[in-house]
Structure 1
């Protein structure tokens, strides 16, 4: 079971990398007001959602303790990110504040995962 959990942690990190990488590569465009949500950002957020849910299930099935409040907060932040990216995915450009908010929320989600013990 540990191998399976580690596999999904790796896939979860790949999802974070796609979402955060999509944000970071467009920071210059964000400054110019021409940033947009690319497909990698949407797929990264979806990957995070699916693998996160699977990880919670696998950890509970393996009798590991799961902090449900932490998972709930991370899920709420991710749903906001996913909603924003999904709704604005076809727009030619996204407002600076909205694009920055997605990047900020992504980093908040990472820090919640790492620092909340």
Structure 2
């Protein structure tokens, strides 16, 4: 079971890397007002959602304790990120504030995952 959990953790990290990488590669475009949500950002967020749900289920099946409040907060933030990215995915330019919000929420989700014990 540990190997399977570790595989899903790795996939979860790949998802967050895709989402945050899509944001970071467009830092210059944010300043120019030409930033847009890329398909990699949407797919990364969806990967995070699916693997996160799987990780909760696998950890509970393995009789490990799961902090449901932490998972709920992370899920709420991810749903906001997914909503923003999904709705604006086809637009040529995205508002600076909205694009920055996705980056800030993604970073917040990383810090919640690593610092909240």
Q: What TM-score do the two structures reach when normalised by structure 2?
A: 1.00
1:112 deviates by 0.1
**1:101 aligns to what?**
101
Unaligned runs of 5+ in 2: none
Matches within 5 A, 1:22-101: 22-101=22-101
1:21 deviates by 0.1
- Distance (whole Å) between structure 2 residues aligned to residue 31 and residue 39 of structure 1: 21
Number of equivalences: 117
- Distance (whole Å) between structure 2 residues aligned to residue 67 and residue 113 of structure 1: 11
1:56 deviates by 0.1
Q: Secondary structure at the match of 1:34?
A: coil
- Distance (whole Å) between structure 1 residues aligned to residue 14 and residue 61 of structure 2: 23
- Distance (whole Å) between structure 2 residues aligned to residue 30 and residue 99 of structure 1: 8
- Distance (whole Å) between structure 2 residues aligned to residue 63 and residue 86 of structure 1: 35
- Distance (whole Å) between structure 2 residues aligned to residue 116 and residue 63 of structure 1: 20
Superposed CA RMSD in Å reads 0.2
1:46 deviates by 0.1
Q: Deviations over 1:17-43 (max 9, x none)?
A: 000000000010011000000000000
- Distance (whole Å) between structure 2 residues aligned to residue 31 and residue 4 of structure 1: 42
- Distance (whole Å) between structure 2 residues aligned to residue 20 and residue 31 of structure 1: 17
